[in-house]
Every structure is written in structure tokens, then in C-alpha cells.
Amino acid sequence: MFAKFDSDNFLTPIDGIEMKTFVHGDNSLLTRFHLKKGSQLPSHSHPHEQTGFMVSGKMKLIIGKEEFIAEPGDTWCIKGDIDHQAKIIEDSIAIEVFSPVREDYLPK
């Protein structure tokens, strides 16, 4: 599967957080997030492993009891079923891979 970047059709699951899944296979899915300064991703968990890369901006990630300030070039991995949340410090772009595929993130 190949995909050209298209800035249209981003979803807004939470105020200040836009997302779009670009490609997916049988076992993984790649999603781009646009995160607005001051927005928050509330604490949650899911069975999917989540690996991320910070393209631009700055956010505070809280994974379990650990806190991490993510800046451009930083990466993270969140095991499945671990509570995590994010506080967006600056307008940011992050790319994340989920495995297994998140059915709720598949393009409609």
C-alpha cells in the first residue's frame, strides 16, 4: 500500500486533536496527529502497542507513572493496556504506529 500526503479529511476525535490514518496492513497502522497547544489527550488505555515519533512541537507524555517531554526527533513506545495521556505544550505533529491494527482508526 502506498499513499501520497493529503491534508484533507483529518478527523477531530477530541477538541484540538486532529488525526488521519495514512496506511495500514494486516498487523499495523500508521496515523498522523496534529495537536494544538493547550489541548489534552485524557488518560486512557487500549490493547494496542503504540510507537511514536515527534515531528514538530512539544508535548508532555505521561505513560503509567513516567513523564516525558517529547520534542522534535524524540520517540516513544507504549505497551498495550498501559494508561497514558498527553498535554500539548506547543502546536505539534506526531506520527504513531499501532499494532495490532486499530479498527476504529481505519479510514471509512
Per-residue pLDDT of the chain (108 residues; tens, 9 = 90+): 788 888 888 999 999 999 999 999 999 999 999 999 999 999 999 999 999 999 999 999 999 999 999 999 999 999 999 999 999 999 999 999 999 999 999 987
The residue range of the domain holding 84 is 16-105
Does some domain include residue 44?
yes
In total, how many domains does the chain have? 1
Predicted local confidence at residue 97, as pLDDT: 98
Task: Quickly list DSSP for 36-102.
Answer: -TT-EEEEE--SSEEEEEEEEEEEEEEETTEEEEE-TT-EEEE-TT--EEEEEEEEEEEEEEEES--
Predicted local confidence at residue 92, as pLDDT: 98
Does some domain include residue 9?
no
Residue 26, domain CATH: 2.60.120.10
